[in-house]
Amino acid sequence: MQLKLFWKILLISPFVVGAIARAASAQSLSGADVDDWTPVTQLASSSSNSAGLDQVTSVSQLTDVRPTDWAFQALQSLVERYGCIVGYPDRTYRGNRALSRYEFAAGVNACLDKIQELIAAATADFVRKEDLEVIKRLQEEFAAELATLRGRVDALEVRTATLEKQQFSFTTKLNGEVVFGVSGLATGQNARGEDVFKTAIFGDRIRLNFDTSFTGEDLLRTRLQAGNFRSFTSSLATPEGEQRFASPDGSNEVEVDALLYQFPVG
């Protein structure tokens, strides 16, 4: 009998405890100043706004640059005024999409170079003072990206110069020479005292030189020659009076007369 009574009391006790708790809560609330409370919706809105302002205080903290950022709009104004960015290969500027900070820094650098060209060309009046202040501020905001970009450009220029020195390329120049002349024997005998055939001949000698350079400091020459000035050495039994441009057979056939290569040492 006592056990049954215990379970009945245990079942009723939660309601009793709840009633006591509600009474205590109502008593404590009645003593508070309700007018000093702030609605929960206002607290949530206030916390979200303050968090947003604390997260981004400068363009330098953004991982990309959006069309609504002041830096994007400032650069777009410079582009429209000075034409310092040509655009993408498909002839579009794509000014309505976000750019990475390095893409944006490339645009800032292009506008900076353009303005410097205008100043160097004595057209400084064309550059507005306000634009100089804008470009200065952009330089400060994107100083790290500009330094990285210029470092990469310098490294690329060094690599390009190295490749140009090491690559195998050549240039060939063509030059030629044509000689016409009259040669013959007028009178007398040869070195052996024999009479020679007295006559005069009209002859020619043609040379084509192919000068090739691989490094700019070397020279590979290939010479083609043809001529019909026959040598009189066999008839005269002496080279005296011989033309220097005479050929042994005088057949006027094209042949490789010279092949030489020269290069600096040291």
Residue 81 has pLDDT above 90, yes or no: no
pTM equals 0.37
Lowest average pLDDT, out of 35-39, 59-63, 73-77, 247-251, goes to 35-39
H or E segment to which residue 118 belongs: helix 101-120
Residue 236: predicted pLDDT: 72
Q: Could you tell me if 29 and 65 are in contact, meaning their C-beta atoms sit under 8 angstroms apart?
A: no
- Alpha carbon 164 to its chain's center: 14
Residue 31: predicted pLDDT: 45
Q: Is 133 exposed, middle or buried (0-12, 13-18, 19+ CB in 10 A)?
A: exposed
**Closest CA relative to residue 94, chosen from 106, 111, 109, 76:** 76
Q: Could you tell me how many residues make up the chain?
A: 266
Q: Is 231 exposed, middle or buried (0-12, 13-18, 19+ CB in 10 A)?
A: middle
Domain ranges of the chain: 59-165, 171-183+196-262
Instruction: Report residue 51's pLDDT band, with 50, 70 and 90 as the boundaries.
Output: very low
